[in-house]
Amino acid sequence: MRAFFGIILTIAAAIATASCSTPSALGNGTFNYECVATPGASCSGGSSIPSTLPVGAQFKLTYTASTPSTYPSVAVDPVSTNFFRVQNGVWTALLPGSPAAYATAGGLALDYTFFHIEAPAKADAQ
């Protein structure tokens, strides 16, 4: 019985930390997404960043340049801090909208990607 629960916990942890990536808008690399907390949007077995994130989603976002030796140290930041808070590497979606994130290295803008953030659905009035 303990082995069964151990397997379930291992699977749950793998799902909760599933990561995925998507090509960037300019094609200079790949944005890498990892869901870190509920309510987050997981990759759901897909290979791309989720098409929609709920307000409150928490995740990590990194960037891998197509030529990592040219850009070994890349920073990823939100275009607007109105839509995302980034604290200790964890991004939190704050408002509905379609904000962007961008990758920079050595003061140069390398690439960007967009997100779609939706407000939670309101419960039906009873």
Cβ 76 vs Cβ 63: under 8 Å? yes
pLDDT, residue 10, reads 33
* Tokens, residue 87: 């604290």
pTM summary value: 0.76
Identity of the amino acid at 106? G
Q: What is the pLDDT of residues 81-112, one digit of tens each?
A: 999 999 999 999 999 999 999 999 988 999 99
pLDDT, residue 90, reads 93
What are the structural domain ranges in the chain?
2-118
* Tokens, residue 72: 């070994």
Domain 2-118: which CATH number of 1.10.8, 2.40.50, 2.60.40, 2.60.200: 2.60.40
Closest CA to 76 of 92, 95, 61, 97: 61
For tokens 């379930």, the residue is: 8
> If 0-12 CB within 10 Å is exposed, 13-18 middle and 19+ buried, where does residue 122 land?
exposed
Q: Which value, to the nearest 10 degrees, does the dihedral of the CA atoms of residues 38, 44, 45, 51 take? A: -110
* Tokens, residue 101: 């994130």
In the chain, % of residues over pLDDT 90? 48
